[in-house]
Amino acid sequence: MTQDELKSVVVAKSIDARGTACPGPLLEAKKAIGTIASGDIMEIYSADEGTKQDIPKWCTKQGHEYLGSVDENGYFKVYMKKK
Amino acid sequence: MEDIKKTDIQELQKQIYALNEQIENLKNSRKDQLSIAVVSGDMDKVLAAMVISIAAAAMDTQVKLFFSFWSLSALRDPKKSPKGKDFISKMFGLMLPNGKNKLSLSKMNMLGMGPMMIKMLMKKQNVMSLEQMFNEAGELGIEIVVCEMSMGLMGFKKEEMIDYPHLSFAGAATFVADAGESSIQLFI
């Protein structure tokens, strides 16, 4: 997805994991994924650079769709769609 | 006509045989499981073992940690004081770190200054403490197996181990069996 598409995407769940370092954001994402339905989009806020690489790997393993990330000031948002 | 049918059947039989072989191979392939032999009792190494385990469990990989030798210090509960230890066991108990918050660093320990600084930095950078990591590990269903032999060797007792929801005691063969069916095996 392009940056513009990501910015206007409708998210079912938004989690703020900026207060945790690795493996915190992944753990928060795992805990939240159970609360959304299949096909829903979730966004994860993180300030931990590793998250940008980790979330796509997690998605690949679990069969979710990784949509991309958007950089904000001092943090970023990662988007994924539940399988 | 008859001949053609015969060769067809033979070809099919060959394919079935090949498929059966593939299924057998798949059955024998390893599980989505991580086995770690945690031997080191250094704070940095126990930390590494826990971070990897939590990341694996968050990815739905089954995790089995086999704690042995120096790492047992990390599993001691400082609030518990077991009775009936002999002299050597008591000495060992006094000289070894009493719990995960008392572990030293493998480098830059500087008589305990190092761990203090690392803990401060971890807090500042929002890295989970070992205490928090063990709590998360328990919630994620990460299994901890304590090596009976090293526990006996160091004079530790079952009663002084932490309250952890998935704690068991076993021997080396348990690790070998668990590791044998794991797709990832590590030694820390």
Residue B136: which domain range?
31-187
Give CA–CA dist B129/B131, Å, rounded: 5
Q: Chain B closest CA to A47's CA: distance in Å?
A: 10
In this predicted structure, what is the pLDDT of residue B144? 96
| Beta carbons of B66 and B72 less than 8 angstroms apart | no
In this predicted structure, what is the pLDDT of residue B7? 84
Q: Is the pLDDT of residue B2 over 80?
A: no
In a mutational test of the B interface, the residue from A26, A46, A60, A75 whose CB has the highest number of chain B CBs within 10 Å is: A26
Residue B115 lies in a domain: yes
**pLDDT single digits (tens) B99-140:** 999 999 999 999 999 999 999 999 999 999 999 999 999 999
In this predicted structure, what is the pLDDT of residue B104? 94
In this predicted structure, what is the pLDDT of residue A2? 85
In this predicted structure, what is the pLDDT of residue B27? 74
- Across the beta sheet with A76-81, the strand order is A13-16, A41-46, A76-81, A65-71
In this predicted structure, what is the pLDDT of residue B3? 67
pLDDT, mean of residues B40-60: 96
Closest partner residue to A26 (CB to CB) among B58, B126, B127 is B58
In this predicted structure, what is the pLDDT of residue A4? 86
In a mutational test of the A interface, the residue from B47, B50, B62, B128 whose CB has the highest number of chain A CBs within 10 Å is: B128
In this predicted structure, what is the pLDDT of residue B67? 96
Q: Which residues of A touch B (CB under 8 A)?
A: 19-24, 26-27, 29-30, 54, 57-58, 61-62
Give the HSE-up count for residue B184: Cα atoms under 13 Å, Cβ half-sphere: 16
Specify the CATH number for the domain of residue B47. Answer: 3.40.1260.10
Residue B113 lies in a domain: yes
Nearest Cα residue in chain B from A55:
B59
Q: Which residues pair with B186 in a beta bridge?
A: B36
Residue B17 lies in a domain: no
Residue B164 lies in a domain: yes
Q: Residue B144: CB partners within 8 Å, gap ≥ 6? A: B65, B67, B75, B137, B164, B166, B167, B168
Q: What integer best gives the mean pLDDT of chain B?
A: 92
**pLDDT single digits (tens) B134-164:** 999 999 999 999 999 999 999 999 999 999 9
Number of domains in chain A: 1
Cβ B51–A61 below 8 Å, yes or no? no
Residue B162 lies in a domain: yes
Give CA–CA dist A36/A31, Å, rounded: 10
pLDDT, mean of residues A20-32: 92
Q: Is the pLDDT of residue A5 over 90?
A: no
Specify the CATH number for the domain of residue A48. Answer: 3.30.110.40
Residue B24 lies in a domain: no
